[in-house]
């Protein structure tokens, strides 16, 4: 039975991906910080008679977490057929965002996938096969999200590099880049497609690796347009992040005055 690690599995895209792959009979290893949510998901998978599910609570902001997760997976299942690097955090789009928030974004969105690939590749090389799927973002193609965009641009770069490095080894490396979909990070938006659309894309590239998949497909045009005519994106987003940052700073200042 095939084994897949899904990070950020407690909600959103990760949860939907774990459910979809378990529904195909895969053994899923559920990784996230929130152990209670993982246990609930594992129980749901078991109750539905789907593939096996193992809960491995993991905080990928910790440098040793990647190695511990892969080691535990091999102990539990004996192999790793796929890794879905989905865990991620968002943040303010302004360059004025503080170091703590920026470090958290980079640690989880970029360093954690690198660490996980570093420890999972030897396992897959020994097996002679495997699939790595990195969950990027349209914000990794169009710079509008501050440190979040930077982390996803970086993820796109390492994905391309690792894909080329592993060519011919039997290990596929794919990048799935969602636009806005309904998750905890987009709770303030309405009318968005569910995370299942991303889970479907993940399943496809595990079976047949591809360089990049953008979902929903409509965002491909936005990426092409922004690359061809960057001045349009400049005009659309000019000053927006700075305005939000100023508003937040004013709110914080008001809050401090009231507290005093």
**Is the distance from CB of 54 to CB of 30 less than 8 angstroms?**
yes
58, 73, 141, 148: which one is catalytic?
148
Cα separation, 236 vs 249, in Å, equals 23
Active site residue 237: no
Q: Which residue has the tokens 């102990």?
A: 75
Residues with catalytic roles: 148
């Amino acid at each position: 039975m095939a084994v897949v690690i899904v990070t950020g599995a407690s909600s959103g895209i990760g949860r939907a991906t774990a459910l979809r792959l378990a529904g195909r009979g895969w053994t899923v290893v559920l990784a996230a910080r929130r152990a209670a949510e993982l246990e609930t998901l594992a129980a749901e998978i078991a109750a539905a008679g789907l593939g096996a599910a193992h809960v491995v609570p993991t905080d990928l902001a910790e440098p040793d977490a990647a190695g511990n997760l892969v080691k535990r997976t091999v102990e539990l299942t004996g192999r790793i057929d796929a890794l879905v690097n989905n865990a991620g955090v968002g943040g303010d789009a302004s360059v004025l965002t503080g170091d703590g928030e920026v470090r958290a974004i980079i640690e989880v969105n970029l360093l954690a996938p690198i660490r996980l690939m570093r420890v999972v590749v030897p396992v897959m090389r020994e097996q002679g096969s495997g699939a790595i799927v990195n969950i990027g973002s349209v914000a990794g193609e169009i710079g509008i999200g501050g440190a979040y965009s930077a982390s996803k641009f970086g993820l796109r770069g390492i994905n391309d590099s690792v894909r080329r490095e592993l060519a011919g080894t039997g290990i596929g490396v794919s990048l799935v880049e969602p636009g806005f979909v309904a998750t905890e990070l987009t709770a303030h938006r309405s009318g968005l497609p569910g995370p299942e659309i991303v889970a479907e894309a993940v399943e496809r590239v595990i079976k047949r690796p591809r360089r990049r998949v953008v979902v929903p497909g409509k965002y491909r045009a936005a990426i092409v347009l922004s690359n061809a005519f960057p001045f349009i994106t400049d005009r659309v987003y000019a000053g927006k992040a700075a305005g939000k940052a100023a508003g937040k700073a004013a709110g914080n200042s008001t809050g401090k005055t009231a507290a005093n």
